[in-house]
Amino acid sequence: SPLHEFIKGLPKCEHHVHLEGCLTPELIFELAARNGISLPTDPVYTSISTLSKRYEHFTSLDDFLHFYFEGMAVLRNEQDFADLAWSYFQKAHSDGVHHAEVFFDPQVHKDRSIPYETIVGGFSKGCQRAEKELGLSTRLILCFVRHLPVDSARGVYNELVASKHFEADVVHGLGWSSSEVGPPKDMFRDIYADAKESGIPLTAHAGEEGDPTYISTALELGATRIDHGIRLVEDEELMKRIARQGTLLTVCPLSNVRLRCVQSVKEVPIRKFLEAGVKFSINSDDPAYFGGYILDNYYAVQEAFELNVLEWRIIAENSVQESWIPDERKAVLL
Ligand code: ES4
Ligand code: ZN
């Protein structure tokens, strides 16, 4: 397509990528060997290629999450976390990403006895290296998971407070993710109330598999951004409100296809969001599992919707404007 060079050159900001979702089959095998960890007995772990093949056939969010949580068991030492983050930032840089806000799941690592300091220490070293060597700006967003007890989230939140990592901008904001339908919609109500009181920026995965009431609950609890949010189109009034408020949706088209939220990228409501004036960015989610990084997602949107230069400028501009960065940094990126 004639716009491919233009899209490649757009200044990109990534707002929705899980660092653990950047763990490629290659890196899983490499870290398992380095750390002397045996991989699960499931025959899909026979080789890099059998594992990669399995990733092409997820049946749902929870089917994917099983492999996502299994894979991250190879992360043991601070260096593993740093190497994983660095591998993502190098790829993002080559895709034209200038600013990246990245999620990580401390509860899941703590559950397998990795200390909070090892996790945050490693990931933040990866961020510092990206800032220094690639000129990327980065933000770490600590993500709570919905499949573990809320007490475990409270434990991590207490460690965040004790570490003063928010005040030091080591951890910039909070999110929630993992299984959407099932656990109570408002399970993080108390934690989000405390975090909001402390001025911590809040986002939440909502409206991926779940209906629009998951989105309205997230907003009620203090989220100022919505991750995925594609089912927003099912509630006209809520969509108008989100457009009016200027709330950003962080959309992940290839993820939605791989997890069967939609049958093809054409079903992702990109046109509807543009027409309704809903701000969104295009992101990679779990690129090691979903067959593409951010530029692949941009290209997939172009192939499905044939947007014009003006529409791409709106998308790129909104992704800069809604980033959690100071105005001076926005001015550099625009
Ligand atoms: C996720 Cl695609 C997706 N949805 C919800 N939670 C997640 N964690 C990692 N990837
Ligand atoms: Zn996600």
| pLDDT average, residue stretch 178-202 | 98
- CA–CA distance, 108 with 88 (Å, rounded to integer): 20
Q: Is 18 annotated as a binding residue?
A: yes
How far apart (Å, rounded) are the C-alpha atoms in residues 284 and 282? 7
Which residue's alpha carbon is nearest to atom 8 within ligand 1? 178
Q: Which protein residues are within 6 Å of ligand 1, measured from CB?
A: 18, 21, 61, 68, 177-178, 205, 208, 255, 285-286
Q: Which residues contact 307 (CB under 8 A, 6 or more apart)?
A: 3, 270, 274, 301, 315
Q: In the predicted model, is pLDDT for residue 290 greater than 80?
A: yes
> What is the DSSP annotation of 220-249?
HTT-SEEEE-GGGGG-HHHHHHHHHHTPEE
Pick the catalytic residue from 20, 78, 159, 208. 208
CA pair distance 83, 284, nearest whole angstrom: 19
- Flag whether the pTM goes above 0.95: yes
Cα 41 to averaged position of ligand 1 atoms, centre (Å): 24
CA 324 to ligand 2 centroid distance, Å: 17
pLDDT digits (tens, 9 = 90+) for 209-268: 999 999 999 999 999 999 999 999 999 999 999 999 999 999 999 999 999 999 999 999
Which ligand places an atom closest to the C-alpha of 145? 1
ipTM for the whole predicted complex goes beyond 0.95 = yes
DSSP-derived secondary structure letter, 261? S
**For the chain, how are helix, strand and coil distributed in percent, rounded to 5?**
55, 15, 30
Helix (H) or strand (E) holding 44: none
The residues near 240 (Cβ < 8 Å, ≥ 6 apart) are 276
The angle formed by the CA atoms of residues 284, 18 and 46, to the nearest 5 degrees, is 90
Question: Which tens digit of pLDDT belongs to each residue from 13-57?
Answer: 999 999 999 999 999 999 999 999 999 999 999 999 999 999 999
Span from the CA of 2 to the centroid of ligand 2 (angstroms): 30
Among the atoms of ligand 1, which is closest to the Cα of residue 205?
5
- Asked whether 239 and 276 are in contact (CB, 8 A), the reply is yes
Give catalytic status of residue 306 as yes or no: no
